[in-house]
Amino acid sequence: MYDAITIADDILKLAKAKGKTLTPMQLMKLTYIAHGWALAILKRDLFRNRIEAWQYGPVIPDLYHATKSYGGKSIPFSAVGDPDTPSTDPETRSFLQDVFEKYGHMDGITLSYLTHQSGTPWDQVYVPNVRRIEIPDELIKKHYSELLLARQEAA
C-alpha cells in the first residue's frame, strides 16, 4: 500500500507523458477514483490516507494540502518528475494507466460530478457544514464493486 501522494505523483507522471497538465481538482478526483477501482478490481487499498466528505466531494486531506498552492491552475510540468521513473510497482502503474486512459481526459467539474452523484459514498456520508467526516473504504469498495458488476452485466 502506498501513500496518496505517491499515487498522485504517478498519475501526474502519466499525464506529463501524454503532454497533459492536471489541476489539483482533477488530480484529487483521479486519485480517489483510482482508489475506488483498486478496491473493487485489485481487492486492495491503493493508499492508507484518510478520505473525507467535503462540500465539493471526496477529498484526501494530505493530497489537498500538498497541492492547494496551485489553486485552480494546472500543476506545472516542472513540478512533476520524470514520467519514465514510476513511483509504484509495475502492476500498480499499469492499473493507474488504465484509470488514466478512462478518466484522464475529463475536466475537474466532470470528475467531480462523477463523485457527487446520488448514492455515491460521498453522498451517503456528507452532512452540510460538518467537517472531517470520513468516507469509509467499505462504502467506496461497495460502490465501485457495484459499478464493476453493472459494467460486466452490460458487456
User: By the 8 A CB rule, do 104 and 30 touch?
Assistant: yes
Taking the C-alpha atoms of residue 40 and residue 34, their distance in angstroms, rounded to an integer, is 10
C-alpha distances in angstroms, 75 versus 4, 29, 42? 16, 14, 29
Q: Report residues of the chain scoring pLDDT below 50.
A: none
Question: How confident is the model at residue 104, as a pLDDT?
Answer: 98
Question: How confident is the model at residue 88, as a pLDDT?
Answer: 97
Taking the C-alpha atoms of residue 93 and residue 22, their distance in angstroms, rounded to an integer, is 18
Question: How confident is the model at residue 115, as a pLDDT?
Answer: 95
- Give me the residue label for grid cell 493508499: 47
Question: How confident is the model at residue 1, as a pLDDT?
Answer: 86
